Amino acid sequence: MTTARRTPRNGKASPTVNLPGNGIRTRLRTTAAIALLPLLALTACGSTGAAPAPAAAQASPPPADDPVAGVRTVDSIAALLPAAVRQAATLRVGSSIGSPPSAYYPNGQDKPPAGQDIDIADAVAKVLGVRLERQGASFETILPALGSGKYDFGTGNFGVTAERLRSIDFVTYVNDGQGFAVKTGNTRLTTQVSDLTQLCGLTIGTGAGTTFEKTLTSKQGVCTDAGKKPYEVKVFAEPGAVTTALQQGRIDVVMSTINGLRHQAAQPAAQTTFLGEYHRLDVGFAFKKGSPLTPAVQAAVNELIKDGTYERILKKWGTTASAVDTSQINPAEHT
């Protein structure tokens, strides 16, 4: 497991426009929907992005602190943008809106999203002196859409992996990763998962199209190799469906992002227990391969780290353990 790198600080800007995206509307059973906050499916952090949160799942209000408000444009960094982007003063971003603390809808689908990823992206836009045109989208649609030019970049707690680096460029901004959680009171799994053989004979729920799914399915043979009953993997398209399955006992354990699971376990009504970190991953804004935007965005993130805005954003969302010392372009995947 790779440990989180640390440090922080603050940056600059001009007006930012957030356009709320469209999410998947589903009906959840009242008790499960109210009792639990939706899990991140990206972005997966432990890997990837999250599917849009169900409209019925009303999450807690965001913290009142607004560390982005004082950010101003830094002309020397804005000058790193391509001339056409500077002239348009707009960047289109596809955002995977899933669960706190990364990105979620605090008051339902008709309200702007909030979260760590939202604040960092907005602060970056201010440093660059551009507006953000934000469109809500599911993880599996964002990455392919980058190549088609639909979005200039994507957010969704996207983990940096060797496979993704073949077709996507990343500018990193946090170090999150993969973890596990169970329903509070579960007696089948009570300790931190450091080896997947601890999951043998259990049913694991996770998000579709995530690195969680890939990790679990690619290593499913570890149990039979150890002479044990294989674990079963159940994949869900929506974060709310994972939490409902956990509460109803249809799965024994959830694999999702470290920050998302830790945040959820801290909510008394959630009734989940975080079992610790399994694997750390750098998380970054995603761009089409060869995008000319990456140097400017990297410089903007590093400006936010230097002047303290970054630290205040992570403190606001309780994710300071995921702080990075510096933003990188396309770092190697941690193994």
Q: What pLDDT is recorded for position 240?
A: 79
In this structure, the number of other CB atoms found within 10 A of the CB of residue 20 comes to 16
**CA-based angle 195:161:312, to the nearest 5?**
90
Listed by start position, the domains of the chain span 30-176+283-322, 178-280
State residue 198 phi and psi, 5-degree precision: -65, -15
pLDDT score for 107: 74
Which residue is associated with the tokens 């392919």? 144
Bridge partners, residue 183, by sequence: 272
CA–CA dist 234, 244 (Å, integer): 13
Contact 92, 150 (CB under 8 A): yes
Helical ranges in the chain per DSSP H: 30-35, 75-78, 83-88, 116-128, 139-148, 162-165, 211-218, 222-225, 239-247, 258-265, 294-307, 309-317
Average pLDDT, the chain: 84
CATH topology of domain 178-280: D-Maltodextrin-Binding Protein; domain 2 (3.40.190)
pLDDT of the residue at 139: 75
Q: Which residue would you say has higher pLDDT here, 228 or 108?
A: 228
Q: Let me know if the fold of 30-176+283-322 is the same as that of 178-280.
A: yes
CATH number of 30-176+283-322: 3.40.190.10
pTM: 0.81
pLDDT in tens, 33-61: 333 334 333 334 433 333 333 333 345 67
Residue of 164, 218, 215 whose CA lies nearest to 193? 215
Phi and psi torsions of 251, nearest 5°: -135, 155
Q: Across residues 177-183, what is the average pLDDT?
A: 96
Q: DSSP per residue over 200-222, as a string?
A: TT-EEEEETTSHHHHHHHHTTTH
pLDDT of residue 80: 98
Pairing state of beta strands 168-183 and 253-257? antiparallel
Cβ atoms 9, 326 nearer than 8 A: no
* Identity at 68, one-letter amino acid code: V
What pLDDT is recorded for position 109? 67
For residue range 113-132, list pLDDT tens digits in order.
999 999 999 999 999 999 99
Per-residue pLDDT band at 270 (split at 50, 70, 90)? confident
Q: What is the pLDDT of residue 243?
A: 87
Judged on CB neighbours under 10 Å (0-12, 13-18, 19+), 26 is middle
